[in-house]
Amino acid sequence: MRYSLLSALAASAFVAAAEEPSYDYIVVGSGPGGGPLACDLARAGYSTLLIEAGGDEGENPTYADLANFNEAANDEATRWDFWVKHSDDPERELKFGHTTWDTGDGTFYVGTEPPEGAKHLGIQYPRAAVLGGCAMHNGAVCTLPQDEDWNIIVNKTGDKSWEADKMRRYFQKIEKNDYLPSGNAEHGYTGWLSTSTGDNSWAKNDSLPATRILKKIAELTGQDPAKATDLLNNDMLGAYENRDEMTSFFNMVSHGDKNGKRSSPNNYVRATLADPKKYPLTLQLHTLVTRVLFDTAGAVPKAIGVEVMEGASMYKADPKHVDGTKGPIKQILAKREVIVSGGAFNSPQILKLSGIGPAAELTKFNITVVKDLPGVGERLADNYEGSLLALGQVPIESGLITLLFRTPSAPTAKRNIFTWCAAFSFEGFWPGFPAYYGPNQYTCAMVHMSPKSQAGSVRLVSADPQDVPDINFRFYRDNGDDDLKELTEAANLLRQAWQAAGDPALPFEELHPCPAGTECTDAHQMEHFKLQAYSHHASSTCAIGADGDVMAVLDSKFRVRGVQGLRVVDASAFPVVPGAFPVLPTMIISTKAAEEIIADAKGAAAAL
């Protein structure tokens, strides 16, 4: 395995001398978008440089063992802290229960009554600076988007290669299914991404309170309670007819193997690096990309490389960053293309620092405008997430109850809520999360799919690439009452199901959204979800869009509009949030992007 530190280029990066080190492709970011893409390009024979701001924790059990995902997301070894806002209302922001403050003594205060002199930070949104990106610290849930989430790109661009039935073949290409017998035509068995499921045998025990909850949920959602145990083993990634309208229990799928080991782009990159004679992939760790370099001599600006700052913890989101620390600046050239895969926060930041973005914003920070693209950093979207949390009278022995369903006020026939219930607590992110409420804790966590508002933004605070941008999701700004009503309807159904737990579990002491002493009205719950919803599926800040859409950043082949030799491949490319969990969809589009790039390269070679 080779981790190379590249020598500095000559002062002028705009004409590549023969002796200067360069690559066919430079990929910025090793997460679900960039990591697999770099491997695919190298395996196709193209010299590829993969740049990652963090290090490699692939052999660290904190990251390698899926059971340790909470510890991984809290680990300062890889964590980048983005302190985000949920609205433009400062008073509303201070009502978020896990608002975080810097006490000034090296510790955080989390809550709404900070000590005197504490500095308000905001709402923690941790990202992973590590080989493999956020696929190394997440809960590893694998879901596919609704068909409409793919087809919207067809409708916007006319590119039929994005049709949902065609996109499934990319999933099949990368999957190494570990939970179904080989030969299932809906799945793949030879890819690099292991998928596995859990054991649901607990649900065969009718005496368990959780089994009674399971059967009550079945009754409330139009499923057969007598078959609930079998339904719990439905294939979450199956190609069911009318899948998106199908209310059902499922067995949650993880991107991990049957032994509980995480499967991620980290594994694929390592496997590709292991054969350097066959696959020309170079990995450069602990390197912060500061901007993309352009040749502006022609009629259309062309990306020809990147400028980087070398060294660990160069970005100020890194809790290990030391103020004033700067690494050496170097430039690296790309003979063919630069692909930015920094994620929904960092990809738009990199584009803007490079002169690609809203002209007024760039000019404000004296950044030379290469291409005025108003959509860069706009249309930030995310799933709304919330939970019901209660304490039983005894521990609630249970595995996961995983359910996708439609609430009564959903605007279409498609399901709109993904929920999973078990004896755990999850209430979002803050330093040291999650809270532990004792052995009797029980939660139904909810992800709201197809949110109706994507009014968020990622905007520069300076031209300094080490600075963290200003991130505001503007939750519920557009049609918010509709989304809040859907979340509340879901909560009411799940709360009703809890009452079937029986003795000795009942009565449940609810902690939220309706704690003891409150009147559990819909209005109360809507206000709770408005103030306390959280998220961790950011997308759409460099979105694919139609030719006539002034806010479109990319075309259907991931190419940045108005320039040459530059693409963005990560969750920022999706026009809408892809389903309930974006990690698998992002790995899917990474594979599609590689196919597009390789086809373009072969086409260019054939034209010579």
Residues forming the annotated binding site? 130, 138-141, 289
Instruction: Report d(CA 76, CA 78) in Å as an integer.
Output: 5
Q: What share of the chain is helix, strand, coil (3-state, %, to 5)?
A: 30, 25, 50
Cross-strand bridge partners of residue 329? 309
Non-local (6+) Cβ contacts of 562 within 8 A are: 300, 301, 356, 371, 372, 373
281-284 and 175-177 strand pairing: unpaired
Closest CA relative to residue 335, chosen from 307, 357, 302, 358: 302
User: Which residue positions form the known binding site for FAD?
Assistant: 130, 138-141, 289
Instruction: Report d(CA 498, CA 219) in Å as an integer.
Output: 12
Closest CA relative to residue 53, chosen from 588, 572, 466: 466
Q: Decide: 188 and 172 in contact? Cβ < 8 Å.
A: yes
Q: Decide: 317 and 393 in contact? Cβ < 8 Å.
A: no
Q: What is the C-alpha end-to-end distance of the chain, expressed in Å?
A: 35
Instruction: Report d(CA 229, CA 74) in Å as an integer.
Output: 35
Phi first, then psi, for residue 258 (nearest 5°) are: -70, -10
Phi first, then psi, for residue 349 (nearest 5°) are: -65, -45
Closest CA relative to residue 460, chosen from 538, 356, 545, 381: 356
Non-local (6+) Cβ contacts of 588 within 8 A are: 167, 170, 171, 174
H helical segments located in 376-477: none
Phi first, then psi, for residue 73 (nearest 5°) are: -70, -20
Phi first, then psi, for residue 3 (nearest 5°) are: -115, 100
Say what the alpha-carbon torsion angle 484, 574, 88, 475 is, to the nearest 10 degrees: 10
Residues in the chain: 608
Closest CA relative to residue 131, chosen from 281, 311, 343, 283: 283
Residue 90, burial from CB neighbour count under 10 angstroms (0-12, 13-18, 19+): exposed
DSSP 201: G
Non-local (6+) Cβ contacts of 182 within 8 A are: 189
Instruction: Report d(CA 442, CA 422) in Å as an integer.
Output: 6
Instruction: Report d(CA 284, CA 166) in Å as an integer.
Output: 34
